[in-house]
Structure 1
Amino acid sequence: MSDNEKPKLGLSAPLGVRRTVETGKVKQSFSHGRSNTVIVETKKARIFRKPGDPAPVEAPEPAVAPVEVEAPAAVAAPRPAATPVAPPPPPRPQPAPITRPMTPLERREQQERLLREADEARMNALEDARRREEAAAREAIEEEKRRAEENRRAAEAPEAPPVVAEPAPAPEPVPVEPVVAEPVAEAPVAAAATTDEQAPARPGVVAPPPPRRFTPVIAPKRPERNRMGDDRRQSGKLTVTRALDDDAGGARARSLAALKRAREKDKRSHQSGPAAKQVRDVVVPEAITVAELANRMAERTADLVKSLFKMGTPVTSNQVIDQDTAELLVAEFGHNIRRVSESDIDIVTESDVDAPETLKPRAPVVTIMGHVDHGKTSLLDALRGTDVASGEAGGITQHIGAYMVTQKDGSKITFLDTPGHEAFSSMRARGADVTDIVVIVVAGDDGIRPQTIEAINHTKAANKPMIIAINKMDKPGSNPQRVREALLQYDVQVESMGGDVQEVEVSALAKTGLDELIEKIQLQAEVMELTANPDREAEGVVIEAQLDKGRGPVATILVRRGTLKTGDIFVVGPESGKVRALIDDKGKQVKSAGPSVPVEILGISGVPGAADQLTVVENEARAREVAAYRASVIQQKRTTTAPASLESMFSALRDKQAQQFPLVIKADAQGSVEAIIGSLQKIGNDDIQVRILSSGVGGITESDVSLAAASKAPIIGFNVRANAKAREIATRDQVALKYYDVIYDLLDDIRAAMAGQLGPEYFETVVGRAEVREVFSAGKHGKAAGLLVTEGFIKKDLRARLTRDDVIVYNGKIASLRRFKDDVAEVRAGLECGVTFEGSTDIKAGDYLETFEVEERARTL
């Protein structure tokens, strides 16, 4: 066959008579289009001979086809067992000879068949290798178990003498006579084996052992060999066979992790039946989402949705279901349900009563109340030895202040100072509710005033004992007896007049009567036997709250019972937090605060409302849960409308008819915000009403300015200012920023602005009346009317109104006024005159004429 006639790589040669063994190149095909060309050659069998023997003569190469070879007369020397020779590959299957050349289609089908056979052989080899590795792994596990069992038995019987195993006798070597091997014809191994089996044994000749038949079983001990080269990626891969091969670098023990995995797998295989289902107690509120219910049941959400679908209720995972539906699901999945209502989430402190043996005496809480400018803060300054009144804006108190005063005998009294202005009624009510004793300050020269009466009513409503302090006794004209008598009409009878209410005459400036006031407070506290349990979680009430620029939300808390410590987790109203710092009334940081101690706390998530209850809880999750529930309740109250009624419908219509005066209010404290909103809502009337767009605690921010700009509303800042960015936006959007530090000035300016929005008022005054007697023709002016003035006077420049049967037919001005033929400026009652009107000729006898003046007045609220 010439070079031109040779087939291409990967293709089979044309059919015909050819040599059975030849050397050439074969193209190997792999996956992903890879291929490789290798050289195939056939190795000849090695023949052993003694030195000096003639070289064997090779058998002639068969010409046409391989012929059967007879068994050799002599037995060849056995090959060493240590160096086994790999058998040659099986002969390549040859197609049946045909008389015509193969077509391209047949050649392609033959190639595909050969490729399929090669792939099947490769897959079979891989499967055999995998089975051998699994068998070796199982043998290793069994060997490990056997060794562990032997070690256990040895440990259980230590007294038994060790048994020494005698070595087995070595087998005697079999003498082998050297035999000269005759030359053997080169033939395929498979053919030689078949010939030896079928040939009869010759007498006198030792039959050679039959050659080993090739089997696909790979010996467990084989030299480590990388077929694809040392630079292949998987050359260092560790297999079970390689790990158990003693010849490849010594024996390798199994790792502890592998042994542990094998034991776990064996343990799982011996377990029978599924694991027992865990039954849980599921807490279900009145409404719950499907996803949250699945989380509490530790079940898959898809399973719950599928169960609901089977019940005829197609829902999604985020849909809310009621308590009854949730109970059906819980029962179907085999859990126990525990029904709770939403109110159970909140903390109820009324039912938590301390045991009598845990109660200890505490300091009294005293609230000072009274009318504005009657000297409440000055009296407190005299008791504390400080000067708070001089620092108040406008000389009035606009916050609740909490102070603790230590007396000469070491006892302590907590004082709360409340505002006296009428706008701070809610503050006084709150102060009377959290206090133990109320001291009502009445000026000796001014007597009983409206806020004094309100303070008395708040004290009676809270059922608290009161002490009357008649102040300003150093001023001439002070009459304490007049004050005692005036108190009688409000059902307050002092001890000097036979009653049970203590009174004392004091002077804050001269510092007289202070010791007597302290004695009366201590006496009243001793009678009340004030006690609390300090060894429990703290509870308190918010006296005042504000947003500090540097410290964030700050709340003044009066501890009612327990001890508040740094690091406590608490919930206060709709806010929660963790106590970062406690600051007393003198500005010093403290570690804890017991009952009746006022402190400022830092670490709140937001500004709470005044009078909100503070409660220490066990963890942050509980605090967030309670705070979220309270916030949802507040939101629901804000968005829920009351049932409609005729009265509410008419009031809503009136409110819509009235003009709106929008405002944005920011103040330094929560109590100030309440007072400002309450006072502004009293200013409006049927024509105009205040509308609070937003209110809050803290400085004026960009969001406040943006909200005000949308409604063209001014921003009220009470003891706060706007930041630089807010001022820039306010200037750009022309939003008015108004700052105040005294509530009087704020209310006066808002009242004036609201009146200015309504504009001035116009008042009409009738000046004269006249009756039309005759109607005359007036040429180019149309018609003229002859009048008899019956009341007042008629003027030319005044506005006039012509009525006919009490219906206005003309409203305008008098064009001309004449008496006889002369123009006059005024005609009084009892006289006749003639008039013409601008642009009107509808005049008849019997009509009436009214002249009136319009007066413009500035509007007031």
Structure 2
Amino acid sequence: MSQVTVSQLAEVLGVTVDKLISQLNEAGISASSGDEPVSNDDKKKLLMHLQTSHGKSESDASAPRKVTLKRRSHEELSVSGGGPRGGKRIVNVEIRKKRTYVKRDALDSQNQEDPEREQARKALEEARAERAAKADAEKQAAEEKARHEAEEQARKDAEEQAKREAEEQERREAEEKAREEAAKREAEEAARRADEERARKFAAEERARKKEKVKEPAKPATRYGRKELHVAKGAAGRRRKPTRRVSGGSAGSTEHGFSRPTAPVVREVAVPETITVGDLAKEMAVKSAEVIKVLMGMGMMVTINQPLDQDTAILVVEEMGHSAKPAEEKDIEQELLAVEEEASSDAEAVTRPPVVTVMGHVDHGKTSLLDYIRKSRVTAGEAGGITQHIGAYHVDTDKGGITFLDTPGHAAFTAMRARGAQATDIVILVVAADDGVMPQTKEAIQHARAAGVPLIVAVNKMDRQEADIERVKSELAAEEVVPEDWGGEEQFIPVSAHTGQGIDDLLEAITLQAELLELTAVADRNARGIVIESSLDKGRGPLATVLVQEGTLKRGDMMLAGEQIGRVRAMFDENGDKVDEVGPSYPAQVLGLSGVPMAGDEMLVAANERKAREAASQRQDRQREGRLAQQQAANLQNLFDNMGKDDQLQVNLLLRADVQGSAEALRDSLEKLSNDEVKVNIVASGVGAITESDASLAQASDAIIIGFNVRADAAARKVISEADLDLHYYSVIYDAIDEVKAAISGLLGTETREQIIGLAEVKDVFRSSKLGAIAGSLVVEGVVRRDNPIRVLRDNVVIYEGELESLRRFKDDVKEVQSGTECGIGVKQYNDVKPGDQIECFERIEVQRSL
């Protein structure tokens, strides 16, 4: 049974630790600090105490059950401002909604049994209605007052802004006028200096004419006629008084004073996502050798042209005493999004269907539940009866339209479940009533919590005799998924995918949750969404299943999906029918991309084809630089990791799958099979059929080819046959992982193990002239065989290991002696057996090693 501390329970309940300790003590639970544990029994006892203190007794259990849902939402109110320039002001408004749902049939029966209670209830409802009307009136008055204050504040702000702008305009005009006057004064000063210079030259020429003898020009101070530059040393140079300066420079000075900086220069370096060592040294105005020295001190062997990632470069800059900041690169993708947001800012948002992801453990009935809703047989088409891909379906029900995402439950599809939780509005957690909470169930809860989406628990297989919903509630409560009837927030719906039990209740719960979320999207804009799954079709080319989150995706749009671009040539729904456009919360299969995008990539439509190509190129460069930096940074680590592992076996595999998600899951699962003795190396992986180039690569790298739901074409089969390559086809991920694991186990070989088969206790020792010391023994465990090796134990310590020379039962030589039987044992080449010793008989067997 899981326990939490008082502090953790107080944080969940939203009360202080001191208040919770006081309530626990009042309930008879001893607690003095926040670190003390609180069990589930203590929680129930505290809940009973709080219910009793609020006037609720045990007899209230027959009262009608009710559910109260609280939701908060934020809206922006645009208020027109006053002032000469007008304008608008945005006011944030928080709307709180609280809805209580009561089981009416229980309430009606209770009112018929107790007329006085019915009268009291009516009076209470009237009083509540009056209070609600009064509260509404007060709320409207408060909102009107807030709106009036906001308008008044907006008007004042507009007036102040206008005043500040007028003052700023006056200041700029004054500065411009001052600059014009200063320029005029400088022009006048320049003209005056020119006149003085001409006057000095004229006077010098006059004095030269009056001289009878022209003197030789003075020898220049340096070879090229320039004066020497003297560097001042010490305090004497700094104390030299400056000469009189005239406009335009200094005169009368033969030396210049210069002193070194008294403090090191700290530079602010803008670090991009990747930068080479040489470029980083230039940014800091230091030599590249100094940067390499710092990196070597950090354990990295680098060269001057090696790229560094942003985090490493920032550490180097700070280590060398400079200030570093991430560079703000021009992101074309963000520009495209900004343009779309600006274009759709005035568009009206419309209500969209909810996107519901069905998650849970494998074989708990997720796809079967969707089958009943969709009235189809999807599970029968899946290999092995389990889902291998993320399926996207739109269903029109009596409660409205709903988009379902069906995620696999196998452990290998962790990344696919994470993507499903990130693209959803509501998560349905399917738990088998006869199986309970399993590892993938806990993982699905973690994904839903991380994505911050509400959770609805569908307890499936209620038609079975082993179904136990209370066990499921208890196990999920330990994972902090508490049912509503236990005081929690999650709805628990008992359902059956075979009989249809509870399906209507589940759809009603989804619709109710969607109404509370108030899901909206702008349809009148270019589409933006996420890639759910992708594959490569031999006849049609790359296919991508996308979920539109904003806008409308139309045939002919220029689409950017991950690193791939292309014009939408055709779109298909989940039934394979062609569609011309797809709105928000609708899935579609898109044809026309230049390549197969990665599952989970963001998809957007660009109005400008040139911008879309630039964004795709930028994404490709970013991915390539990141991979290069990661590979080069790991070279040194790989060098140290591989030291002493020259004898490590290596299994090369080449993977091909039908969709990107399956290839990713299979690759991760197979790489985890590596250990210290055998390494699984994935030479290449991708989607689509096995081609001739794949077969050639497998031949060159001596790799095993694995095809998951794909086949080799004619050219590839010819190469595989001629080169005698190892090719395996799989349609269920279990089989692929198990067979590769078995093949790796075969490479490990066998190991020898010892197994004890019998134990005899020495009762007495007899001496024989022919055989030496004979131990009269009693077999206390197992069997003692003459042909098996033995060990002699004294005080449970091995003192001798060897063979039996003789084994007798009375006077007869025997091959084995069973437990509970006395015998005579002669130990070969050992005569120091004493009473009380134990003779252990064992055998050596070879077993196949496994992972």
Q: Quickly name the TM-score band, shorter chain normalised.
A: 0.5 to 0.7
Partner of 2:726: 736
Partner of 1:694: 684
Deviations 1:455-481 (A, max 9, x none): 111101111101111222222332323
Amino acid corresponding to residue 526 of structure 1 in structure 2: E
Deviations 1:45-78 (A, max 9, x none): xxxxxxxxxxxxxxxxxxxxxxxxxxxxxxxxxx
How far apart are residue 510 of structure 1 and its match?
1.8
* Aligned counterpart for 1:366 among listed residues 346, 349, 356: 356
Task: Please say if 1:572 is aligned against 2:561.
Answer: yes
Distance 1:729 1:629, change over 3 A: same
Partner of 1:249: none
State the SS of the aligned residue for 1:473: coil
Task: Please say if 1:502 is aligned against 2:529.
Answer: no
Q: Take 2:335 and 2:394, find their aligned partners in 1: how far apart are those partners?
A: 26
Partner of 1:667: 657
State the SS of the aligned residue for 2:333: coil
How far apart are residue 288 of structure 1 and its match?
12
Partner of 2:530: 541
Q: Take 2:650 and 2:507, find their aligned partners in 1: how far apart are those partners?
A: 51
Amino acid corresponding to residue 495 of structure 2 in structure 1: V
Q: Take 1:640 and 1:442, find their aligned partners in 2: how far apart are those partners?
A: 45
Task: Please say if 1:749 is aligned against 2:749.
Answer: no
Distance 1:801 1:438, change over 3 A: same
* Aligned counterpart for 2:445 among listed residues 438, 456, 467: 456
Q: TM-score, normalised by structure 1?
A: 0.52
Task: Please say if 1:595 is aligned against 2:621.
Answer: no
Give structure 1 stretches of 5+ with no counterpart.
Answer: 1-284, 290-318, 323-339, 771-783, 803-807, 837-842
Q: Take 1:652 and 1:577, find their aligned partners in 2: how far apart are those partners?
A: 43
Give structure 2 stretches of 5+ with no counterpart.
Answer: 1-271, 277-304, 309-325, 762-770, 793-797, 834-838
Partner of 1:398: 388
Task: Please say if 1:348 is aligned against 2:334.
Answer: yes
Deviations 1:234-292 (A, max 9, x none): xxxxxxxxxxxxxxxxxxxxxxxxxxxxxxxxxxxxxxxxxxxxxxxxxxx99999xxx
Deviations 1:200-238 (A, max 9, x none): xxxxxxxxxxxxxxxxxxxxxxxxxxxxxxxxxxxxxxx
* Aligned counterpart for 1:427 among listed residues 404, 416, 421: 416
State the SS of the aligned residue for 1:547: strand
Deviations 1:398-420 (A, max 9, x none): 100111112236x3211101111
Amino acid corresponding to residue 330 of structure 2 in structure 1: D
| 1:704-715 correspondence runs (5 A) | 704-715=694-705
How far apart are residue 587 of structure 1 and its match?
1.1
Partner of 1:625: 617
Partner of 1:562: 551
Partner of 1:681: 671
* Aligned counterpart for 2:367 among listed residues 366, 373, 377: 377
Structure with greater proportional helix content: 2
Q: Take 2:274 and 2:451, find their aligned partners in 1: how far apart are those partners?
A: 38
Partner of 1:155: none
Does the 8 Å contact 1:345/1:625 carry over to 2?
A: no
Does the 8 Å contact 2:367/2:378 carry over to 1?
A: yes
Partner of 2:209: none
Q: Take 2:385 and 2:784, find their aligned partners in 1: how far apart are those partners?
A: 58
Partner of 2:458: 469
State the SS of the aligned residue for 1:451: helix
| 1:849-860 correspondence runs (5 A) | 853-860=843-850
Does the 8 Å contact 1:663/1:691 carry over to 2?
A: yes
How many residues of Structure 1 are paired with residues of Structure 2 in the alignment? 516
Partner of 1:641: 633
* Aligned counterpart for 1:528 among listed residues 493, 499, 517: 517
Amino acid corresponding to residue 722 of structure 1 in structure 2: A
Q: Take 1:414 and 1:534, find their aligned partners in 2: how far apart are those partners?
A: 16
State the SS of the aligned residue for 1:460: helix
State the SS of the aligned residue for 2:330: helix
Q: TM-score, normalised by structure 2?
A: 0.53
Q: CA RMSD in A?
A: 4.6
Q: Take 2:759 and 2:467, find their aligned partners in 1: how far apart are those partners?
A: 58
State the SS of the aligned residue for 1:640: helix
Task: Please say if 1:443 is aligned against 2:432.
Answer: yes
How far apart are residue 856 of structure 1 and its match?
1.5
State the SS of the aligned residue for 1:358: coil
Distance 1:351 1:786, change over 3 A: farther
State the SS of the aligned residue for 2:542: strand
Partner of 2:478: 489
Task: Please say if 1:414 is aligned against 2:400.
Answer: no
Distance 1:831 1:513, change over 3 A: closer
Q: Take 2:547 and 2:482, find their aligned partners in 1: how far apart are those partners?
A: 31
| 1:64-143 correspondence runs (5 A) | none
Q: Take 1:286 and 1:689, find their aligned partners in 2: how far apart are those partners?
A: 32
How far apart are residue 691 of structure 1 and its match?
1.9
Distance 1:367 1:824, change over 3 A: closer
Distance 1:589 1:656, change over 3 A: farther
Deviations 1:611-670 (A, max 9, x none): 01112231144254334324424532552324857xx77654586654322211111111
Amino acid corresponding to residue 654 of structure 2 in structure 1: V
Q: Take 1:320 and 1:666, find their aligned partners in 2: how far apart are those partners?
A: 33
Q: Take 1:728 and 1:787, find their aligned partners in 2: how far apart are those partners?
A: 73
Distance 1:342 1:655, change over 3 A: farther
Does the 8 Å contact 1:576/1:623 carry over to 2?
A: no
* Aligned counterpart for 2:712 among listed residues 695, 716, 722: 722
Deviations 1:523-562 (A, max 9, x none): 2112112122222222211100111111111110111212
Distance 1:287 1:459, change over 3 A: closer
State the SS of the aligned residue for 2:568: strand
Q: Take 2:650 and 2:330, find their aligned partners in 1: how far apart are those partners?
A: 42
Question: Identity over aligned residues, as a percent?
Answer: 46
How far apart are residue 832 of structure 1 and its match?
8.0
Q: Take 1:507 and 1:350, find their aligned partners in 2: how far apart are those partners?
A: 47
Partner of 2:252: none
Q: Take 2:778 and 2:335, find their aligned partners in 1: how far apart are those partners?
A: 78
Deviations 1:2-36 (A, max 9, x none): xxxxxxxxxxxxxxxxxxxxxxxxxxxxxxxxxxx
Partner of 2:379: 389
Distance 1:499 1:534, change over 3 A: same
Does the 8 Å contact 2:534/2:543 carry over to 1?
A: yes
Distance 1:511 1:349, change over 3 A: farther
Does the 8 Å contact 1:786/1:835 carry over to 2?
A: no
| 1:145-184 correspondence runs (5 A) | none
Task: Please say if 1:519 is aligned against 2:508.
Answer: yes
How far apart are residue 729 of structure 1 and its match?
1.6
How far apart are residue 728 of structure 1 and its match?
2.0
Amino acid corresponding to residue 530 of structure 2 in structure 1: V
Amino acid corresponding to residue 581 of structure 1 in structure 2: A
Distance 1:468 1:826, change over 3 A: closer
Amino acid corresponding to residue 367 of structure 1 in structure 2: T
Q: Take 1:478 and 1:844, find their aligned partners in 2: how far apart are those partners?
A: 68
Q: Take 1:347 and 1:372, find their aligned partners in 2: how far apart are those partners?
A: 38
Does the 8 Å contact 2:333/2:615 carry over to 1?
A: no
Partner of 2:98: none
State the SS of the aligned residue for 1:475: coil
Amino acid corresponding to residue 372 of structure 1 in structure 2: V
Distance 1:655 1:551, change over 3 A: farther
Q: Take 1:512 and 1:630, find their aligned partners in 2: how far apart are those partners?
A: 51
Amino acid corresponding to residue 629 of structure 1 in structure 2: D
Partner of 1:611: 600
Q: Take 2:539 and 2:523, find their aligned partners in 1: how far apart are those partners?
A: 32
